[in-house]
């Protein structure tokens, strides 16, 4: 049974004529007759009562028509949906963003992509990099922009490095270190720290850095919201280590370079066995090309 046979069947049923159906579908009348005959042979039933004037459905034909009309409508909708996806006129892309990568230049790239393809819906899932890795492995998101570390075991994921982010010390404008150009980690030994939550890879990297220097940090608050962390800093609840981009043009917070500097790589992560939609693949290439031209 072929789709073309079903199309012929529906057209003949509606026009009640093999000749008119052939004319409407731009095929020969014998071609339509042969296709319907083969369909009847496959089903083992007679679909039409034929005479010289018209072709009317049998009782079995009417039952078959009711089901096939629904199926063919669904097929038509499916073809339309797939075509729209292929042409980037419709579809959803689920993107994982960590609190760290969410403040990078990538947000501007994503906004530019959406301006080019406004019919596509970009759905952001914001979580720590470690949690986003799990969501990728479970197939819950299409891809993620996450912090990466050479120590990670990412057997199920394909990582495309995109760059690195400088982290700086963020403290209130009235802090005693506000005029310092650089600070060593030892200078922060007695400071209350506000860090990202445990599911955020940047927290793990920062803590590892403290421990390598034999410093046990004092962690007062944890949040995956950059804005919340900054508000706590302004209120004098502690200091933090944040991406430099998050501190640009913010006059309420002092940004101090770490000595030695701290850079955390970030990249685009995809599940190796995952089949991506045309829309998701297009966005991924757009991100790569945009960052390559930065």
Per residue in 268-288, pLDDT (tens digit) is: 999 988 888 888 988 999 998
Which neighbouring-strand residues pair with 56? 49
Per residue in 170-192, pLDDT (tens digit) is: 999 999 999 999 999 999 999 99
Looking at residue 72, its pLDDT comes to 82
Looking at residue 90, its pLDDT comes to 73
- Judge if 46 and 23 occupy the same domain: yes
Looking at residue 25, its pLDDT comes to 86
Cα(103)–Cα(281) distance, integer angstroms: 23
Cα(8)–Cα(36) distance, integer angstroms: 7
Name 89's Cβ contacts closer than 8 Å, sequence gap at least 6. Answer: 119
- Judge if 19 and 71 occupy the same domain: yes
* Stretch 74-86: mean pLDDT: 69
Cα(71)–Cα(1) distance, integer angstroms: 13
The residue out of 28, 47, 77 marking a domain boundary is 77
DSSP three-state, residue 155: coil
Q: Is residue 86 part of a domain?
A: no
Could you tell me the end-to-end alpha-carbon distance of the chain, in angstroms, rounded to an integer?
Answer: 54
Q: Is residue 87 part of a domain?
A: no
The residue out of 52, 77, 102 marking a domain boundary is 77
| Pairing, β 121-126 against β 143-147 | unpaired
The rounded Cα 225 to chain-centroid distance in angstroms is 20
Q: Is residue 84 part of a domain?
A: no
Cα(93)–Cα(95) distance, integer angstroms: 6
pLDDT of 84 strictly over 60: no
CATH assignment at residue 219: 3.40.190.290
- Judge if 193 and 253 occupy the same domain: yes
- Judge if 65 and 178 occupy the same domain: no
pTM for the predicted model, two decimal places = 0.70
Q: Is residue 208 part of a domain?
A: yes
The pair of structure tokens assigned to 186 is 């030892």
pLDDT more than 70, % of the chain: 95
The pair of structure tokens assigned to 67 is 């089901």
- Judge if 159 and 169 occupy the same domain: no
DSSP assignment of 62-124 equals HHHHHHHHHHHHHHHHHHHHHHHHHTTSS-EEEEEE-TTGGGSTHHHHHHHHHHH-TTSEEEE
- Judge if 155 and 275 occupy the same domain: yes
- Residue pointed to by tokens 């986003």: 132
Q: Is residue 82 part of a domain?
A: no
CATH assignment at residue 52: 1.10.10.10
DSSP three-state, residue 160: strand
Number of domains in the chain: 3
Q: Is residue 32 part of a domain?
A: yes
- Domain membership of residue 15 as a residue range: 3-77
pLDDT of 80 strictly over 80: no
- Judge if 177 and 187 occupy the same domain: yes
Q: What is the mean pLDDT of the chain?
A: 89
Cα(252)–Cα(174) distance, integer angstroms: 10
Looking at residue 81, its pLDDT comes to 64
- For residues 241 and 69, the model is more confident at 241
- Give the burial class of 273: count Cβ atoms within 10 A of its Cβ; 0-12 exposed, 13-18 middle, 19 or more buried: exposed
- Judge if 117 and 206 occupy the same domain: no
Q: Is residue 18 part of a domain?
A: yes
- Judge if 135 and 197 occupy the same domain: no
Q: Is residue 154 part of a domain?
A: yes
Per residue in 135-174, pLDDT (tens digit) is: 999 999 999 999 988 655 578 899 999 889 999 999 999 9
DSSP three-state, residue 67: helix
* Stretch 109-116: mean pLDDT: 89
Cα(64)–Cα(251) distance, integer angstroms: 72
Per residue in 15-50, pLDDT (tens digit) is: 998 888 888 888 998 988 999 999 889 889 899 998
Q: What band does 85 get if pLDDT is binned at 50, 70 and 90? A: low
pLDDT more than 90, % of the chain: 49
- Judge if 170 and 205 occupy the same domain: yes
């Amino acid at each position: 049974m072929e789709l073309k046979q079903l199309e012929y069947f529906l057209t003949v049923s509606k026009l009640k004529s093999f000749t008119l159906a052939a004319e409407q579908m731009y095929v020969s009348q014998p071609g339509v007759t042969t296709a319907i005959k083969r369909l009847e042979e496959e089903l083992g039933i007679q679909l039409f009562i034929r005479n010289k004037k018209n072709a009317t459905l049998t009782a079995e034909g009417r039952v078959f028509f009711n089901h096939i009309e629904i199926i063919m409508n669904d097929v038509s909708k499916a073809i339309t949906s797939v075509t729209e996806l292929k042409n980037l006129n419709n579809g959803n892309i689920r993107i994982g963003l960590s609190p760290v990568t969410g403040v990078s230049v990538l947000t501007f790239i994503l906004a530019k992509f959406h301006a080019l393809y406004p019919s596509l819906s970009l759905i952001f899932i914001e979580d720590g990099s470690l949690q986003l890795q799990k969501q990728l492995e479970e197939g819950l998101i299409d891809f993620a922009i996450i912090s990466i570390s050479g120590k990670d075991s990412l057997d199920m994921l394909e990582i495309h490095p995109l760059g690195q982010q400088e982290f700086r010390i963020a403290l209130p404008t009235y802090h005693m270190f506000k005029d310092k150009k650089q600070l060593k980690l030892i200078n922060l030994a007695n400071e209350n720290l506000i860090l990202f939550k445990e599911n955020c890879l940047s927290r793990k990297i920062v803590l590892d850095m403290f421990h390598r220097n034999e410093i046990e940090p004092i962690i007062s608050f944890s949040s995956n919201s950059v804005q919340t962390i900054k508000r706590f800093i302004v209120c004098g609840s502690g200091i933090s280590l944040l991406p430099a981009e998050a501190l640009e043009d913010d006059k309420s917070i002092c940004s101090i370079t770490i000595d030695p500097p701290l850079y955390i790589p970030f990249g685009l992560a995809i599940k190796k066995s995952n089949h991506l939609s045309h829309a998701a693949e297009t966005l991924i290439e757009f991100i790569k090309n945009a960052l390559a031209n930065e």
